[in-house]
Chain A
Amino acid sequence: RFRGKGYQEGFTEGGHLGETEGRRYGLANGAKIGSEVSFYKGFAFTWKCLLQKNQDAQKNSKRLKVLNTLLEMVQRFPYEDPTYDKLQEDLEKMRAKFKQICSLLNVQPACQNATAAGMSF
């Protein structure tokens, strides 16, 4: 009987600790992903504006197409749903698209996050 009670108390205690840790982890990760995705959004918008001003139509049409694809991916990303089963997969696809556009534009980006976890590309 005491063993059962001990188990119950331990389970509850563990649950509380787990919830706190989970919340902290979720906040940190959510912030990381949020800032990464919004970096792509800002990056893509900026380059889109720059290219649209440029007259070199043929080369730019390819680049604009890829930039638009990246923007679509950002748009479609489900910000409200952390349980979305393809979250990591879509994020990887976005990262791959970003790498492709960097190669096409011939830019080497460096993005430093304000938080301790910095991203490098």
Chain B
Amino acid sequence: MRRRLAFELRFQAHPDSRAWNVAWSSSGTLLASCGGDRAVRIWAREGASWQCKCLLEDGHQRTVRKVSWSPCGNYLASVSFDATTCIWRKKEDGFELLTTLEGHENEVKSVAWAPSGSLLATCSRDKSVWVWEVDEEDDYECVSVLNAHTQDVKHVIWHPNGELLASGSYDNSIKLYKEEDDDWVCVSTLEGHESTVWSIAFDKTGERLVSCSDDKTVKIWKAYRPGNEQGVVCSGSDLSWKCVCTLSGFHTRPIYDISWCHMTDAIATACGDDAVRIFEEDPGSDPHQPTFSLTAHIPKAHTQDVNCVAWNPKQAGLLASCSDDGDITIWRYEFED
């Protein structure tokens, strides 16, 4: 049965500026967005439209680049070009600014809350990844500063089981980190992309990772354990990641974001050619040499670069995208009838 990506709704999120990122709360009912207007907006569906429920301004002095919800849904982290990370706490009538984390030397590019809810990771143009721990009293403490990358770090994301952290950088590599003796260390470097790695996503099992790059390709990586039958070399007891598939020739410009749906396994990409594309693994494909097909393509999803795509974690097929044009678009990935 054929699929299609149906347009549902488009609305202006950040007037006269870029919409950089959208993030769904874990319940799937709220959508947070952030942009060049230095604000964070919280959106909720009301009938057929989406309304701005909260406007979080005065937190940052410059562009807000990314937002991330805590797993419990009560906190939101936002990071900005002003080198700070703001933690917002949800209350009945809105959000309050709980604290501002400093430490990065320049623009913070990404933030991700760990599945446990007690760790937060940020990364910056200063080439470092910081891991923060939060205790029951809402005190944030830096537990590690990781200088593994040699260039601007663009993206951080946690493995679904929370024990592994991944980062993508302008140095063309992906690095994985693990906690060892109370400190975080880089345990793996994934090379293969020929240019900046803009974004990374894990599938719901955490056995596979997908990355997108300035080199216009998407790579799928698979985790191999020591003693695996395929003869993939592993060091010690650590996982070894191997690139098992490269999707090239589909995108005509840099791919800025990628999202792997944990409900349908579909992969969505946000591209500099203004398009949104969906890929799915072919049924029956070899797990060690999987093949993926382009199942949907919207060439003019936005009027400018698409910066972010995000699958709703609870409603299968619901996808949000945002762009340099300041808009957020809601899509529905469904079977054609």
Binding site for B on A (CB under 8 A): 62, 65, 69, 92-93, 95-97, 99-100, 102-104
Contact = CB atoms under 8 A, between A and B. Distances in A.
B145 A104 contact: no
A103 B103 contact: yes
B144 A93 contact: no
A96 B147 contact: yes
A99 B141 contact: no
A68 to B, nearest CB: 12
Interface of B: 102-103, 128, 130, 141-147, 182-183
B86 to A, nearest CB: 16
A97 B141 contact: no
Nearest 3 pairs of A and B residues by beta carbon = A96-B145, A103-B142, A92-B147
Nearest to A103: B142
B128 A62 contact: no
A102 B130 CA distance: 13
A93 B145 CA distance: 8
A99 B146 contact: no
Contacts of B143: 100
A121 B244 CA distance: 41
12 contacts: A62-B141, A95-B147, A96-B145, A96-B146, A96-B147, A99-B103, A100-B142, A100-B143, A100-B144, A100-B145, A103-B145, A104-B141
A17 to B, nearest CB: 30
Nearest to A106: B102
Given A96-B128, A99-B103, A104 B146 contact: no
Contacts of B145: 96-97, 99-100, 103
Contacts of A103: 102-103, 130, 141-142, 145
A70 to B, nearest CB: 12
A103 B142 CA distance: 7
Nearest to B183: A69
Nearest to A63: B141
A102 B128 CA distance: 15
Given A96-B144, A102-B103, A104-B141, 5 more contacts: A65-B182, A93-B147, A96-B146, A103-B130, A103-B145
Contacts of B144: 96, 100
A108 B10 CA distance: 45
Contacts of A93: 147
B186 to A, nearest CB: 10
A47 B130 CA distance: 22
Nearest to A95: B147
B76 to A, nearest CB: 21
Residue from A65, A92, A100, A102 having most chain B Cβ neighbours under 10 A: A100
